[in-house]
Structure 1
Amino acid sequence: MNDLIQLRHKLHQNPEIAGEERETSHKILEFIKPLSPDIILEGLGGTGLAFVFKGKRSGKRLLFRCELDALPIEEHGTPLYKSLIKRKAHLCGHDGHMAILCGLAQKLSQKRPDSGEVVLLFQPAEETGEGAKRVLGDPRFESIRPDYAFALHNLPGFPLHQIITRKGTFAAGSTGVTYLFEGKTSHAAHPSDGINPAPAISQMILDIPSILKELDRFALATVIQVSVGSLAYGTSAGSGRLSLTLRAFDQKILEQLIDKMEDKAKSLAKDNKLRLSISYQESFAVSTNDLKASAIAEEAFESLNLDSVENPEPFRWSEDFGLFSQSCPSYLFGLGSGENCPQLHEPTYDFPDELIETGVQVFEKITQIKTLQGL
């Protein structure tokens, strides 16, 4: 594992955020190209990469996916390989996920799959919810569209090496949304001469609980930012914005929540004679685990004698892999990174190197047992 650990440390020292992963992609290409994959796709969905290892005979195509991007956060930890880039750091473990796929590439170069094909996908822009859409929308993706897709994410708070599973929904879908209400400024001494959006924005926030109650399953709307007017004491505000994150465990419920919030914003804008514009950012589909893909992965966990636990409910955070689960049978699972490990996105988080071997073993086992599932 030494070369994989060294690779992770190099990636950790040189993080690139979503949409900027050119040097990261180059480092991955330098590592895997000498392993002689049968097909290499560069620039997939922007800065993405895909490597195809063909089996000895025809069969199913399996895709394993990891993420290229880091976070725009300053690292406060003190590893010897600490980030060299200010306000950018691998504080989600994507450096470790990349090392795992590179380890799988090593295994496949030594022993090709018995049948079918294995695709190793290094996806850009996971953190912003844009990368999966770009990759799936790239015309070249059709040449590697899988029969099954797999991915993992390390999870602090769970015992080291523990597998965290769940059939059906694994993680919530979510979207960021901003409602911009525009009225008219007036002198602060005569607010009735203007159209101030503050009452509409306040009412919309107060109405969130009742909107959520109308949905019969889990849904959540979190206020992210509110701004009204500017710091000019002689002026009554003429514009304001409200930003929320909307999330749900079911894609239809998420879409219903989006529609209900939009209807409420439009109604309040009309009642208060305000102009309204709505914009959506960082949209993530619900991550849903396919039953057949679950059976394949669970057999791999069992054959490796790994400690496995089923999460009682879906995770409330979102993962860009969810979009793959909307387009093909997919499976996302967690890999425990320690009960005392700092949480993801915390400034002192660091991916545990010892997880690399476990991740490689699981992915390699999945490629070996797929023919046993009668697929």
Structure 2
Amino acid sequence: MPFSQEDLDQLVALRRSLHRHPEVSGQEQWTAAKIEDVLARCQPDRIVKGLGGHGVAAVFQGNEQGPTLLVRCELDALPIEEKTGLAYSSEIPGKGHLCGHDGHMTILAATALALHRQRPGRGRVVLLFQPAEEDGSGAAAVVSDPAFADLSPDLAFSLHNLPGLPLGFAGLKAGPVNCASRGIKLRFEGKTAHASQPETGVSPMPAMAALMPVLSGLSKGTQADPDFTLVTITHAWLGEEAFGIAPGDGEIWATLRTLTDDGMASLCETAERLSQEAAKTRGLHLSFSYHDVFDHCENAPEAVAVLEQALADEGVPFGPANLPMRASEDFGRFRKLCPAAMFFLGSGEDHPALHNPDYDFPEELIPIGAKVFLRAIRNQLG
């Protein structure tokens, strides 16, 4: 075991400090500064700040030339009110680490501590603390940042805790593991009228009422099916909050979800066509925009093999579990740079679900996650 009880106590204290100070996507200033301070004490060869916003990377160089391994976690929290009642609950109203990114950061902090004590034999390790995962913008911003070019990896790894799996069990398989998703915002513009004379205006209500079940009806299959699609209506508004005005404008927000990026392109085309037909039929102007865009996340076989060996060496049980999962992950961006793989570390079969107000990261996973990453690093780099 590379960590003493004193190490684990300090890591738990770090996790709880991060938990008390959640910051949402793009606003992770305090979190990044905290991580920079923790990494500085581990004396990496280099710390890169401001990656893709508030991202931070620590570089640990080996004694000989070799490949670059990147291990990534996330900085951001969620705009959800925490309701755990824990002594270390969020101190920021309306925000909480309810996805476990505080725990993921702590796992990488533990990995940094071990690399401080023993550098890799060759190559280098890049520990990336990525901003803005929750809205899908962070990985793209990091990868496109000129400062990242010098950190470009040969292999990339990550993990996510996953309620529903036994505590400490690792879900891992090659192929798609997270669905592609994006939000589509449809805006309908007609003409307001007096509520006593609605016929003098053009209301978007009939078009919206007809379109919402049509869009939802595009859903088919399960995430294990190649042609899986899911459309979820998440928000709608219509006109002014008044009884004297017949509405002239309205919006529908929906999340589109498919197993692969190719499937997403087809679903977007269909959703746009159906929306345009509904608007044209009712004499409305339609505009649309996309938000929170996530590529699908696919594990490369060669990267999966590295993680499987590390899990086996460390005695961590693993299997394909219920993968792929419907939820999205912007780690999928890294597969365009190099072979990449993410594993899913069980938080307990009856643990509150991710994004639930009563969720809290299980601290027992900190040493498990860190030792898997460390074993993968030692197996590849010595």
TM-score by length of 2: 0.93
**Residue equivalent to 1:165:** 172
**Residue equivalent to 1:369:** 379
**Residue equivalent to 2:3:** none
Change (3 A) 1:336 1:267: same
Query: Structure 1 residues 107-116 or 176-185, which shifts more?
Result: 107-116
Q: CA offsets per residue over residues 172-206 of structure 1, 9 Å max, x none?
A: 11111110000111233333322111122122223
**Residue equivalent to 1:232:** 242
Contact 2:49 2:55 in 1 (8 A): yes
Identity of aligned residues (%): 43
Query: Structure 1 residues 106-115 or 217-226, which shifts more?
Result: 106-115
Residue 336 (str. 1) matches residue 334 (str. 2):
no
Map of 1:57-136 to 2, 5 A cutoff?
Answer: 57-136=64-143
Contact 1:164 1:334 in 2 (8 A): yes
Query: Structure 1 residues 269-278 or 137-146, which shifts more?
Result: 269-278
Contact 2:98 2:359 in 1 (8 A): yes
**Residue equivalent to 1:41:** 48
Contact 2:78 2:99 in 1 (8 A): yes
Map of 1:220-299 to 2, 5 A cutoff?
Answer: 220-299=230-309
**Residue equivalent to 1:5:** 12
Contact 1:212 1:257 in 2 (8 A): no
SS of residue in 1 equivalent to 2:291: strand
- Rounded to whole Å, the distance in 1 between the matches of 2:194 and 2:76 is 48
Equivalent residue letter for 1:95: D
Contact 1:158 1:337 in 2 (8 A): yes
Shift of 1:209: 5.3
Shift of 1:34: 2.2
Contact 2:226 2:259 in 1 (8 A): no
- Rounded to whole Å, the distance in 1 between the matches of 2:294 and 2:209 is 27
**Match 2:335 to one of 325, 328, 342:** 325
Shift of 1:312: 4.3
- Rounded to whole Å, the distance in 2 between the matches of 1:209 and 1:73 is 25
**Match 2:209 to one of 202, 205, 210:** 202
Contact 2:123 2:381 in 1 (8 A): no
Contact 2:182 2:257 in 1 (8 A): yes
Contact 1:285 1:326 in 2 (8 A): no
SS of residue in 2 equivalent to 1:217: coil
TM-score by length of 1: 0.95
Q: CA offsets per residue over residues 298-325 of structure 1, 9 Å max, x none?
A: 1111111211121344100111212222
Equivalent residue letter for 2:87: L
SS of residue in 1 equivalent to 2:89: coil
Query: Structure 1 residues 274-283 or 359-368, which shifts more?
Result: 274-283
- Rounded to whole Å, the distance in 2 between the matches of 1:357 and 1:155 is 16
**Residue equivalent to 2:58:** 51
Query: Structure 1 residues 340-349 or 168-177, which shifts more?
Result: 340-349
SS of residue in 2 equivalent to 1:96: helix
Q: How many equivalent residue pairs?
A: 372
